[in-house]
Amino acid sequence: MSETPDTETPDTAAPDTPATAAPSDVEATEEAVEHAPEEVEDVEEQPQVELDPNLVTVNIDGRDVPARKGDMIISAALLADTYVPHFCYHPRMSPVGMCRQCMVEVDGPRGPMMVVSCMTPVADGQVVRTDTDQVKRAQEGMLELLLANHPLDCPVCDKGGECPLQDQAFSHGPGESRYVEAKRHYEKPIPISDLVYLDRERCILCDRCTRFADEVAGDRLIHFISRGNDTQVMTFPDEPFVSYFSGNTVQICPVGALTAKPYRFKARPWDLDQRESTCTTCSVGCRTVIQSSRDELLRYQGVDSDPVNWGWLCDRGRFNFEAVNSEHRLASPMVKFEAGLTETTWNTALRASAAMITDALAAGGPESIGLLGGARGSNEDAFAWAQLADALGVTYRDAQLGDGLPAEVLGYERATIDEADGAATVVLLGPDLKEELPVLYLRLRDAAEKRRTRIIEFSTIESGMSPYAWRSIRYEPGAQPNAVAKALAESDIAEQLASGDVIVVAGRPNLAESAEATMAALQAVLDRVPSAKVLPALRRGNVVGALSLGLAPADADHDALATLSAAAEGRLELLVLLGADPLDDCPDADLARRAIAGARRILSIDTFASQSTQHADVVLAASAYGEKAGTTTNLEGRVTTLAQQVTATGTSRPDWMIAVELGLMVGESSFGSDHPLRGVSNVADVTELIAADVAAFADVTPAALAAEPNGVVIGPILDAPAPVVFSAPGRNSYDYRLVVSRKLYDRAVGTQMSRSLANLAPGSAVHVHPLDLDAIGVAEGSDVKVVSAKAATVLPIRADAAIPRGVVWAPFNQGEGTVEDVIDAGTATTDVRIERL
């Protein structure tokens, strides 16, 4: 149990799952924490069970238990709480039967047989015994063999204390090794990537990491090499295991062979406290366990949430806990005096903030205040700030920064990830899911690879999903609506669309192209398939929650770009940045700069001193992920819990509390005497208030969330957008059409402040097709001048076969380079010329 922060009582909704080192807890870190619900369902639905032809009954150790046809004995046993020791079996990967540890006895036509339970399917009436002498003898024998070559360096191994091999050796092992021959010797841990180390002496060759790389991630960069007793896991020489998902291999390794650089030697499992939570790095909302020791976050592990992440996390989400611990965190509020931003007391800072609000209201009325951000916090944060904005009458507000889609995209009938996974067809309108919503990419890749779903992808350049798409259709920026309409009319595609459910995944494919293009393309799909549901692929962790809880602009005239324009034109007395950094995140860098310069006052609520906070008049230090409890809403509209696991940094406070305090301080012109937020004393009160106040969240009570760790899915909340008419401008004299999109690793604060991730951003450059590079006549890597109608910038150029001819691609927000300079948010597309220097 963590310390109670000064102003907040700990959240009671989040389930506490303290770590123990008992063997029975193996699953907590290994197959991730499997929630109980499915199991409960199966058992409770007994009467219905008879009707389901896919259900069979298996007798395990004398107990009849239900199982699903096609399931392996081991999964039926584990569901029925009968532990069968195993190493290679993993519920989310195909069985290989390598470790032979999971042997059980099954009655066969010729008497009892020993079978591997991970590869033997259940059958109705099957009789299974997991505890006979022969089974025990086999398990002991197998362990003795596994330990024969194991270095037994448990005292210096990260896994010691939570190691399935160690645990099973205690519980199912022979106790003593008679192996006196020479053990296998390899060079001790070698880095196989920037994040992962491999110790081949500890490896038991269970094929989990290699299967993960092959089946789940599709990054086949680690492999078994050599044969027999010399078999080892390795990369190709000089080709490291560069995968956005490499951390999962560390989590599923049943021994300490794979270790993560950010966690190595940091803690012993028995010193760890943990709680279940949700990752808010992106809007997939993977379920996690966040672990700490001595009030410091030390590790995140994926939790197997069946509808969401299946236990996987991306490396950015897994390792960015380092940012929370960063020494660069804002520890206390600051107010700008003559000498610049100076640390001060909350009292002073809140007073100064309230004064700025009051002054702005007096000088320009509520129309002179803009509120940007809120998509990085919790539902409670967003709700409290939206309430404050409502109370003040603020109309300029947006949780996005002109880098997403219009909020009304949430008004369409929304699909869940499972619906997309099971749909006959998924139409993908962008962005590159592998870069922006990595675990959604894993889910859809799996659906495509296992042939559950066919993906029709529309993209400007080859994406991470392209190799798995049934059709991957390239269009020139601006031509997306036409390309979609044309392709969907083709007979084979039309036939495919008619063959079953259709889900559209829609996000922002190109930051150098107006969002209207994608909205029109989305409309084109819905015109063809009116029954299609939409899975919004907006990126920031709680963007759906923030937009649904009141931080959506009322109309396009008050969205982020309009707000920034108003600021740039000197029409804003006060710009409130709620964890938002327009200088980093707004695609139109020039607009952002002018807005920051043009706003009379800036109030910034943030965890770090960002580019934009440097210009603020008051900076309020906010608590970060893991330091505050609450709820969050993922892209499906699924609300899950966030846990507080460590004490907040310095005197930082959660955003919702800051809103409430500000509201109270501003007084009657904001929170009237009967305003419900006046009565809240902890975050659960706010959660209750949302349930009571926002119809779509009516079911999202702390009690409901405690009972359902997979969360509660809310319905549509905004109105569907009016049809948009979009026509791309013709090409002007510029040669290339610009595509700007995000990579997983960029200059985002959470990444830059995580030591292990900071260097993984690819850096700025413009990429063109190799033939275009020849046409431009410069050498790969040299600097070129990129000129748009608006501005020019200098960037290195690279040849890249993934880029079609006539298109230039540049990664977004990569620091030193400034491709954002040439983007004009006011135009539909951006055309550029590339000049040799």
Binding site for another protein (CB under 8 A): 96-101, 103, 113-114, 116, 119, 121, 134, 137-138, 141-142, 144-146, 148-149, 178-182, 184, 204-205, 220-231, 234-239
Q: Which does 145 bind (CB under 5 to 8 A by kind): another protein, ligand FES, none?
A: another protein
Binding region for ligand FES (CB under 6 A) out of 93-101, 344-352, 393-401, 651-659: 93-101
C-alpha 274/C-alpha 33 separation (Å) is: 12
| 99 sits near ligand FES (criterion: CB under 6 A) | yes
Nearer to ligand FES, 214 or 367 (CB): 214
Q: How far is the CB of 107 from another protein (least distance, A)?
A: 15
Site string for ligand FES, 438-467 (x = CB under 6 A): ------------------------------
Q: How many CB atoms lie within 10 A of CB 493?
A: 20
- 255 lines the binding site for ligand FES (CB under 6 A): no
> Which CB, 70 or 806, lies closer to ligand FES?
70
Q: Residue holding tokens 């191994």?
A: 157
Q: How far apart are CA 691 and CA 700, in angstroms?
A: 6
Number of residues that bind ligand FES (CB under 6 A): 12
Residue 263 in contact with ligand FES, rule: CB under 6 A = no
Q: Rounded distance, CA 243 to CA 218, Å?
A: 9
Helix (H) or strand (E) holding 218: none
In the bound complex, what is the minimum distance in angstroms from residue 285's beta carbon to another protein?
31
Q: Count other C-beta atoms under 10 Å from residue 794's C-beta.
A: 14
Both tokens of 75, joined, read: 């999964």
Least Cα distance to 138 among 169, 173, 90 occurs for 173
- Least Å distance, CB 209 to ligand FES, is 14
The single residue among 102, 522, 646, 797 that binds ligand FES, judged by CB under 6 A, is 102
Indicate which of ligand FES, another protein, none lies near residue 86 (CB less than 5 to 8 Å, by partner kind): ligand FES
Q: Give the shortest CB-79-to-ligand FES separation in angstroms.
A: 15
Give the one entry of ligand FES, another protein, none that residue 294 binds, where binding means its C-beta sits below a cut-off of 5 to 8 angstroms depending on kind. none
Nearer to ligand FES, 99 or 484 (CB): 99
Whole-angstrom distance, CA of residue 510 vs CA of residue 504: 17
Would you count residue 212 as binding ligand FES (CB under 6 A)? no
**Is residue 92 at the binding interface for ligand FES, with CB under 6 A as the rule?**
no
Closer Cβ to ligand FES, 85 or 711, answer by number:
85
Helix (H) or strand (E) holding 262: none
Q: Give me the least distance between CB of 505 and another protein, in Å please.
A: 25
328: how many CB neighbours lie within 10 A of its CB?
12
Shortest distance in whole angstroms from residue 235 CB to another protein = 6
Q: Is 98 in the site for ligand FES (CB under 6 A)?
A: yes
Smallest CA-to-CA distance from 399 within 578, 574, 519 is with 578
The answer to whether residues 658 and 686 touch, using CB atoms and an 8 Å cutoff, is no
| Angle subtended at Cα 111 by Cα 82 and Cα 131, rounded to the nearest 5 degrees | 25
Minimum separation from the CB atom of position 72 to ligand FES (A): 8
Q: Which of 86, 318, 628, 769 binds ligand FES (CB under 6 A)?
A: 86
Stretch that binds ligand FES, among 81-89, 263-271, 570-578, 761-769 (CB under 6 A): 81-89
The distance of closest approach from Cβ of residue 171 to another protein in the complex, given in angstroms and rounded to an integer, is: 18
Residue 684 binds which one of ligand FES, another protein, none, with CB within 5 to 8 A depending on kind? none
C-alpha distances out from residue 686 to 78, 350, 411, 621, 637, Å: 38, 21, 24, 20, 18
Residue 187 binds which of ligand FES, another protein, none (CB < 5-8 A, kind-dependent): none
CA–CA distance, 129 with 59 (Å, rounded to integer):
8
| Minimum distance of ligand FES from residue 87's CB (angstroms) | 5
> CB-wise, 254 or 478, nearer to ligand FES?
254
CB of 663 to another protein, least distance (A): 56
Q: Which of 75, 82, 101, 752 binds ligand FES (CB under 6 A)?
A: 101
Is residue 89 a contact residue for ligand FES (CB under 6 A)? yes
Measured on CA atoms in the order 703, 704, 708, 711, is the torsion positive or negative?
negative
> How many C-beta atoms lie closer than 10 Å to residue 681's C-beta?
11
Residue of 71, 87, 126, 377 that binds ligand FES (CB under 6 A):
87
Cα dihedral: 358, 363, 365, 367 (round 10): -110
Total number of residues shown for the chain: 837
Q: Is residue 88 a contact residue for ligand FES (CB under 6 A)?
A: yes
Contact between 572 and 368 (Cβ < 8 Å): yes
Between residues 87 and 312, which has the closer beta carbon with respect to ligand FES? 87
Question: With contact defined as beta carbons under 8 Å apart, do 425 and 231 qualify?
Answer: no
DSSP line for 776-824: HT--TT-EEEEEESS-EEEEEEEE-TTSPTTEEEEESS-SSS-GGGG--
Closer Cβ to ligand FES, 214 or 343, answer by number: 214
CB of 219 vs ligand FES, minimal distance in Å: 23
Pairing, β 334-337 against β 618-621:
antiparallel
203 contacts ligand FES (rule: CB under 6 A): no
What is the footprint of ligand FES within residues 106-135 (CB under 6 A)?
116, 118
104 binds ligand FES, rule: CB under 6 A: no
Q: Of 97 and 796, which has the nearer Cβ to ligand FES?
A: 97
Smallest gap from Cβ 214 to ligand FES, in A, equals 17
Q: Kindly tell me which of 101 and 379 has the beta carbon lying closer to ligand FES.
A: 101
**DSSP-based three-state secondary structure for 550:** helix
Minimum distance between the CB of residue 836 and another protein, rounded to whole angstroms? Answer: 31
DSSP state of 719: P
Q: Cis omega (within 30 of 0) on the bond before 431?
A: yes
The interface region with ligand FES, picked from 62-70, 96-104, 643-651, 763-771 by CB under 6 A, is 96-104
Residue 252 touching ligand FES (CB under 6 A): no
CB of 184 or CB of 471, closer to another protein: 184
Rg (alpha carbons) of the chain, rounded to whole number = 28
Spacing of C-alpha 116 from chain mean position: 36
What is d(CA 795, CA 708) in angstroms, rounded to the nearest whole number? 50
Question: Which of 102/314 has CB closer to ligand FES?
Answer: 102
Q: Indicate whether 257 belongs to the interface with ligand FES (CB under 6 A).
A: no
- Cα 633 to chain centroid distance, Å, stands at 12
353 lines the binding site for ligand FES (CB under 6 A): no
**Whole-number minimum distance, CB 172 to ligand FES, in Å?**
13
Question: Can you tell me the distance from the alpha carbon of 440 to that of 390, in angstroms, rounded to the nearest whole number?
Answer: 34
613: exposed, middle or buried (Cβ count in 10 Å: 0-12, 13-18, 19+) = buried
Which residue number, 114 or 664, has a Cβ lying nearer to ligand FES? 114
Binding partner of 830, given another protein, ligand FES, none, CB within 5-8 angstroms per partner class:
none
DSSP annotation string for 125-184: T-EEESSSHHHHHHHHHHHHHHHHT----GGG-TTTTS-HHHHHHHHHS-SS----SPPP
The sign one gets for the Cα dihedral 511, 502, 54, 94 is negative
Contact by Cβ (8 Å): 624, 324: yes
Tokens found for residue 230: 């010399």
Separation between Cα atoms, residue 643 and residue 99, nearest integer Å: 37
Choose one: 23-31, 94-102, 537-545, 741-749; the region binding ligand FES (CB under 6 A).
94-102
Q: Rounded to the nearest whole angstrom, what is the least distance from the CB of residue 63 to another protein in the complex?
A: 25
3-class secondary structure, 197: strand
Q: Which two tokens stand for residue 675?
A: 């305003």
Which entry of ligand FES, another protein, none binds 226, CB below 5 to 8 A by partner kind? Answer: another protein
**Contacting residues toward ligand FES, per CB under 6 A:** 86-89, 97-102, 116, 118
